[in-house]
Amino acid sequence: MHRNTMYRITRETMNFKGTLPTLILETLAHETSHGYRIAQQIKERSEGILDFKEGTLYPALHKLENEGMVESYEGMEKGRPRRYYRITKSGRGALTRDRAEWRELSRAMTTILGEA
């Protein structure tokens, strides 16, 4: 992963620190979305296992935007203005690298810990 990977396991959820940008890129690789929907999709797709505080989503989005991984634009939904985010070409490149690194890490962990 291009960011530090640490995780904290609570009773019901897992909080993978530093992986939020990758999860955001993964979500945006499927569809352009606004902040709230991104947060909900990460929680839904991980079946509620990956948990994060939603107030930290936007700083991560701004960082990705500063790095040129995502871009934002104003849109309308149900007559209300919304800020939408979409992944850029360099964001897709970073996501591909992150996926490869995650597979490597996951394979190494499985080798050490054994299949669950």
Partner 1 sequence: MAATITTAMATTGLDSWLQQATRCLAKDSTAQVQSEIREHYELARESAMNGGASADEADRLAVAALGDAKTANRQYRNVLLTSGEARMLRQGNWEAQAICSRSWIKWVLLIAAAAAVFSGNEFLLRGSIMLAWKLFAGGIVIGLLFAAPFLPVYTRLGGRVFRGVRWVAMLTMLGLAFGPDAPKWSWLLFSCLWMVARPEWTRASIRRKLPVAEWPRHLYL
Contact code string over 12-31 relative to partner 1, x by CB under 8 A: --------------------
Distance separating alpha carbons of residues 24 and 57, to the nearest angstrom? 9
C-beta closer to partner 1: residue 75 or 105: 75
Contact code string over 32-61 relative to partner 1, x by CB under 8 A: --xxx--xx-----------xxxxxxxxx-
Neighbour count for residue 103 (Cβ, 10 Å):
10
Structure tokens at 77: 């939904």
The residue from 4, 10, 11, 66 that contacts partner 1 (CB under 8 A) is: 66
CA distances from 8 to 11, 14, 30, 32, 109 (A): 10, 6, 27, 29, 16
C-beta closer to partner 1: residue 26 or 65: 65
- Angle at CA of residue 54, ends 38 and 106, nearest 5°: 70
Could you list the residues that contact partner 1 (CB under 8 A)? 34-36, 39-40, 52-60, 62-63, 66, 68, 80, 82-83
